[in-house]
Structure formats: C-alpha cells, structure tokens
Amino acid sequence: MKKRALALILGVMMVASVTGCGRKNPPAPAPAPAPVTTTQVANPYVYYNTYDELASAAGYYPMYLEVEGFGSPTFALVDQSMVDISIVESETQEVVYRTTPFYIYEGSEYTITGIDGVTYYTYDYDGYTIYSGTYYDSTYGTTYIYYWNMDTNHGERCYCIEITGEDETFVSWISEQAILQTETIN
C-alpha cells in the first residue's frame, strides 16, 4: 500500500508540475513591433580634383587661399550650391572655406558653418558686416568662425572661413586675407 500511495503522490506531483498546479501560464511575450524602415540621408558632397573643376561645377569662383605648411586641399560641392574647401595642417589644425551663391543672415534657417549653437557678434570691416563667433571642442580646441555677405558682379555671395587649432595671430591674418580675396575673385 505504501508503494501505491507513493506512486500516486509522485504521479500527482508530475501532473502538477506539468500543469503548473492550476496556475495560469504567464502570458506570451508581445510580438515584436514591425521594423521601422529608415534611410539615412548621405551628405550630398561631390568631390573634385582641382579648384577649376569645382568652380566650373558650382558656376562661380569660391573663396580659397593656399597656406604654407597645410596639406593638399579637399574640394567639394555640397547640395549642388555650397562650396566647401578644406586644408589641414595636422589632426587638430584645419581651415575650411565655404561659399554660397546667396546671402545668409544670423538666425536664418540656413547655415553656412555647419556648427550649431554659436553666438555671433558683428563688426564692420571695410564696409562689410562680419559675423564672428567661436566654438570650443575638447578634442580640437577653439574654432574661430567668420562669415559675411557680399554683392558681386555675378550676384549675392556668402563667404565663411572656419579656423581650428590655430593661434589668434594666424586667425586674424587669414580671416583678413580671406575678406580681401573675396573682393577680387568676383
């Protein structure tokens, strides 16, 4: 009889373990949401080998100064209208020249710098209003930004120069040279 009782108890225990002792099974996990298809928009940069090829593609002559000690420039046309020319001296030292075929003003929905959150100050230089600001990055240091609008023989232009990792003497010199150059290229 003891064997029968033990077998009965073991049988009940097995059935109880399989059925969860009358408890409901936990709900099945919710089905995974349908995947969302996203497409990352690539930067609309088209690169060129020479300044002349870039100017031809843009339809105008952009600002650009060669600087001794800096490497070969990178010539790019962004979104078929803005010219972006970069020269690099080292991993943390760079000068970027940008030109657009239209005006850009402080607070505009458009930006020529590509850097958000900069407070710009204005000053007059040779009859032009210059927008000037700085941006600090812990890796690259201070970036000095200058941009200005100019009427040319071929229409409106906005010019920008960004200088990263350089001292203020160099920044002052190259920004002045850039402004002077834009008076002669159009």
pTM of the entire predicted model: 0.71
DSSP 6: H
Does residue 62 lie within any of the structural domains? yes
pLDDT grade for 86, boundaries at 50, 70 and 90: very high
Task: Write the single-letter amino acid at 141.
Answer: G
Does residue 81 lie within any of the structural domains? yes
Q: How many CB atoms lie within 10 A of CB 124?
A: 8
Does residue 51 lie within any of the structural domains? yes
Helix ranges, the chain (H): 2-19, 51-58, 168-184
**Alpha carbons 79 and 83: distance in angstroms, whole number:** 9
pLDDT grade for 73, boundaries at 50, 70 and 90: very high
Please state the rounded mean pLDDT for residues 99-110: 73
Note the pLDDT of residue 91. 84
Q: Which domain range does residue 160 map to? A: 45-184
- Average pLDDT of the chain is 76
**Alpha carbons 169 and 162: distance in angstroms, whole number:** 14
Does residue 5 lie within any of the structural domains? no
Does residue 21 lie within any of the structural domains? no
Secondary structure (3-state) at 24: coil
Phi, psi values for residue 105, rounded to 5°: -115, 155
**Higher-scoring residue by pLDDT: 184, 69:** 69
- Number of independent structural domains in the chain: 1
Does residue 145 lie within any of the structural domains? yes
Percent of the chain with pLDDT over 90: 25
Helices (H) and strands (E) in the chain, counts: 3, 8
pLDDT of 76 higher than 90: yes
Please state the rounded mean pLDDT for residues 12-17: 40
Does residue 77 lie within any of the structural domains? yes
Does residue 74 lie within any of the structural domains? yes
pLDDT of 30 higher than 50: no
H or E element that contains 69: none
Please tell me the least confidently modeled range out of 33-42, 49-58, 63-72, 110-119. Answer: 33-42
User: Hey, which of 8-22, 82-96, 140-154 has the most confident mean pLDDT?
Assistant: 82-96
pLDDT grade for 15, boundaries at 50, 70 and 90: very low
pLDDT of 53 higher than 90: yes
**Higher-scoring residue by pLDDT: 139, 84:** 84
